[in-house]
Structure 1
Amino acid sequence: MLRLVLAIIVFLGAMPAQATEAGWALLRNGGHVVLLRHAATTGTVEPPSFDIEKCATQLNLSDRGRQQARKIGALFAARAAPVERVLSSRYCRTLETARLAFGDSLVEPLAALDKPTEATIEADVTAVKEIIRNFSGSDNIVLVTHLENIQALTGASAREGEAVIVGLQGENLHVLGRIVF
């Protein structure tokens, strides 16, 4: 019985590594869309004084999150995963994740990637799908966003700093691969 439990633990521990390797294989060829959840933050709930223009009123990246964002960029470079364009939510934690990982020059803020509300979710999902539908680059496009957007677009969850590689099939996005940082 102990061997069975150990075998299951080893198998489950290997799954993220295998998923990550498969994800890198997809990105090496370019032409893919990556939904990247922002790196690790200082908390879990947005302060009540939230203001999109003032980072001091938002959840921000922790020191670990900044290290994670730099690692994301270093791994994209080391794994020869070309990035053509980076779109980011306007929240400070997503912009900082994008800039630390990919540099200021590639990062473009996009309101449709902000944390959605009930009033904006449908329009945001439509806008992001339109960007994906129109993407025809030979390199990859990275969309740095929030868990709620990834769930609304794919039905899948993602950890802080996790990349979800997606493809459009008909009107729906399907998860093609994942990379855990």
Structure 2
Amino acid sequence: MKIIISTNFLRETLKMLKFWATLLVATFITHNCFAATALEVSITEIKADVLFIRHALAPGIGDPKNFLLSDCDTQRNLNEEGRKHSKEIGKYILSTNLKIDKIYASEWCRCYETALHMNLGNVKLFSGLNSFFQNHSDKGKTLQLLHKYLEEKPSNQLIIMVTHQVVISAVTNLYTKSGQLVAYNSKTGESQKIPMSSFPLK
């Protein structure tokens, strides 16, 4: 028995297959890349090797008068919303294809706690990220330490630095909200803020 398939039938079948293949690819890309687009695009555009993160929400301004770096009870700390936001930041970064080589945090408890709740790996404290807002640390010495580290770090390593608004602003000239991310190229000085809408609180 000989089966004859018309040319029109083959043409229409190929059109349908092409349509469904395109739809499947588009769905895959949307599902896997949409949430990470803002961060990955910024890092790619400026070849960022540093991801600055301002600590998550810690209500108030500055620190109490009885501030002690060694005692979290004397500091302005994260509230529950801040802890939740820290976890969302971590999930957002994990949703990307980015490889994070190292994670650093200011010695302030709110920065260290933000980094811990992000749950992205081992966190190292670094005094070059400390706040000098109320002169609890020397601005010149702090930034000198930070710049020295950035100058010496390999440009092919992507690191996270959880710190304070004053530090991020001093390095990038950008203002950040609590929990906001800034992609930064330590060799060229280029920087880009990541929109807060990229990882809204749920």
**Which band: TM-score by shorter chain?**
0.7 to 0.9
Q: Answer with 1 or 2: which has the greater Rg.
A: 2
Q: How does 1:1-181 map to 2 (within 5 A)?
A: 21-27=37-43, 32-103=49-120, 105-116=121-132, 117=135, 120-136=138-154, 138-169=156-187, 173-180=189-196, 181=199
Please state which structure has a larger fraction of its residues in strand.
1
CA distance in 2, matches of 1:64, 1:118: 26
| Structure 1 residues 78 and 119, CA gap change in structure 2 (3 angstroms) | closer
Percent of aligned pairs with the same amino acid: 22
Q: Which runs of 5+ in 2 are unaligned?
A: 1-35
Secondary structure of the 2:159 match is: strand
| Structure 1 residues 31 and 176, CA gap change in structure 2 (3 angstroms) | closer
TM-superposed deviation, 1:22: 3.6
TM-superposed deviation, 1:140: 1.8
Q: Give TM-score scaled by structure 2 length.
A: 0.70
TM-superposed deviation, 1:81: 2.2
Aligned length: 160
TM-superposed deviation, 1:108: 0.4
TM-superposed deviation, 1:155: 1.4
Look up the match of 2:11. none
CA distance in 2, matches of 1:174, 1:27: 10
Deviations 1:126-171 (A, max 9, x none): 221222222226452011100010111111110000011111356x
Matching residue's letter, 2:91: A
Q: Give TM-score scaled by structure 1 length.
A: 0.77
